[in-house]
Structure 1
């Protein structure tokens, strides 16, 4: 009897788009599939900032539990939301080709940039980088799925809000009034989709192998290695981006204080055949330049 692969996903429009992308790819390979939408704690509690909820992987936890209980076979995630250590028994099964990794600003006019203004984001990384560049601005919390956040921009008198470009592009919500924030370092693995499966589920893991995109996999693994070495979890103000040109791997990463006043940055290159431990060595450079003390301060606030 042929196995139907049950695909677990959050039930937001973006999460469903991602899950359907994986579903279509698997069905093209001849597999039978079924989507199983699940509500996550991160989607249900929109009043409290993520870091205050005290959980890393808040958007992945519900799916992890469903998988361990045998209710789903695989789960599809935005990789930037996934903790660097997966739960016991769950493994990375595929990383799809990475989409746009940039952040962008949706705005109501850009005159405010040189004066006072209010920007909305639920990300400590985006908040810290914005305040580092625009210390006179105020940053307010913005939560919810992409559609909810877009609605909140219209309802409030904020000057703008920061989004991941990939999310808006995937569900065709990117408006005309945006600018790419080329100076902002994205979250590690931003724009990448991760599919996880149970370690003992050989059928699903084998099915997903063919969906792997090698260059994307190398890039996000280095970025997440950087994040893990800094012990940042999913919420600390840490940015990392790898680009690969020919056989050269370019890395740019940074750790920020919560108020954006401190920035510890690293830029390094290596050959693609010498990437073993590259993300770790980049993180150690940041730690040695004051990052260790800064992470201690951040943890005191976020615990």
Structure 2
């Protein structure tokens, strides 16, 4: 049996780039695929910070519904946007090789770093880590797709804005006036692309299997397990990064208070052959070392 694989995607330039990358890979394997762009609620409501909208997976929910109702066969996501618990019937079909996982600062000159300044980001994680390092700065909310955020930065009086390096690199929009924030712990699975399909769709699952990158899959699963155990369904400033060096997995994870003043961190190494449950164990270590009280405070503020 053969069929045309309908690829669901948001209609931003970055989302379309990601979907076209998967489409080209499937076509190289001999499959036929078409794109089906879908608007998400996260794209439509740009006036409210994500955490205030109270919806987990706001960028993936619309595509989930389209898949469950049979309008699309697969969906392509930035994996950092995907909830740790997928809807019933939807499964991970492929995790592509990870791109740059770092956060970067786009700026109009770095003098503002020495005194008072204003930074823009829609991420609680980035905001908390920025305030941890620059407690006298002001952080304002910034929403929209990559192109929208770039325009808002250009027309503002902000000192800069924080972006994921991978998103800008993929669509060739990284400006020269940027600074890699190597001290900032990225979001779990940042830089990775996830393709999901229906559990009962063996054709698509088999078609996508060759696209899966095992090393990336191992790393992001540890990071997302860490996130799942820590957050308990609540949005929180959580960073996690796992990388592989010489058959060893190196992990760094942290939970920050909303104002960045407090944080609990772990830094671990483990054999690549023995990563099962370690994301959970490291999250429990965070919770047992002050993270549980920190999460209670975060939930009280956000709820």
Q: Same fold (TM over 0.5)?
A: yes
The residue aligned with 2:240 is 240
- Give the drift of 1:286: 0.5
Task: Tell me how many residue pairs correspond in the alignment.
Answer: 303
Q: Matches of 2:2 and 2:54 in 1, distance apart?
A: 41
Where in structure 1 are there 5+ consecutive unaligned residues?
Answer: none
Deviations 1:4-26 (A, max 9, x none): 00000000000000000000000
> What residue in structure 2 maps to residue 283 of structure 1?
283
Tell me: CA distance 1:233–1:165, structure 2 relative to 1, closer, same or farther (3 Å): farther
The equivalent residue for 2:6 is 6
1:302 is displaced (CA, Å) by 1.7
> Which secondary structure does the structure 1 equivalent of 2:179 belong to?
strand
Q: Which residue of 2 aligns with 1:106?
A: 106
- SS in structure 2 at match of 1:261: coil
Aligned runs of 1:196-235 on 2, under 5 Å? 196-231=196-231, 233=233, 235=235
Match of 1:261 in 2: 261
Distance of aligned partners of 1:131 and 1:228 in 2 relative to their CA distance in 1, 3 Å threshold? same
Q: For 1:89-127, what per-residue CA distance to the aligned partner results, in whole angstroms no more than 9, with x for missing partners?
A: 000000000000000000000011110000000000000
1:134 counterpart residue number: 134
Q: Which residue of 2 aligns with 1:163?
A: 163
SS of 1:191's partner is coil
Structure 1 CA distance, aligned partners of 2:57 and 2:17? 20
More displaced, 86-95 or 231-240? 231-240
C-alpha separation in 2, matches of 1:144 and 1:51: 14
Q: Which runs of 5+ in 2 are unaligned?
A: none
> How is 1:166-181 mapped onto 2 (pairs within 5 angstroms)?
166-181=166-181
2:34 aligns with 34
**What do the CA deviations read for 1:131-152 (whole angstroms, capped 9, x no partner)?**
0000000000000000000000
**SS in structure 1 opposite 2:265?**
strand
Query: Is the 1:125–1:235 Cα contact (8 Å) retained in structure 2?
Result: no
Query: Does the 8 Å CA contact 1:82/1:234 hold for their aligned counterparts?
Result: no
Contact 2:121/2:142 (8 A) holds in 1? yes
Query: Residues 227 and 263 of structure 1: is their aligned pair in 2 closer, same or farther, counting only changes over 3 Å?
Result: same
Alignment match, 2:47? 47
Structure 2 partner of 1:81: 81
Change (3 A) 1:282 1:268: same
Between the aligned partners of 1:86 and 1:210, the Cα distance in structure 2 is 21
Separation in structure 2 between the aligned mates of residue 128 and residue 235 of structure 1, nearest angstrom: 13
Question: SS of 1:210's equivalent?
Answer: helix
What CA distance in whole angstroms lies between the structure 1 residues aligned with 2:105 and 2:43?
22
Q: Deviations over 1:220-246 (max 9, x none)?
A: 000000000102547310000001011
Q: Deviations over 1:189-235 (max 9, x none)?
A: 00000000000001000100000001000000000000001025473
Compute the TM-score of the two structures, normalised by the length of structure 1: 0.99
Q: What is the TM-score when the length of structure 2 is the normalising length?
A: 0.99
Q: Distance in 1 between matches of 2:261 and 2:207?
A: 47
Aligned-partner Cα distance in 2 for 1:280–1:242: 13
Measured in 1, the distance between the counterparts of 2:49 and 2:215 equals 33
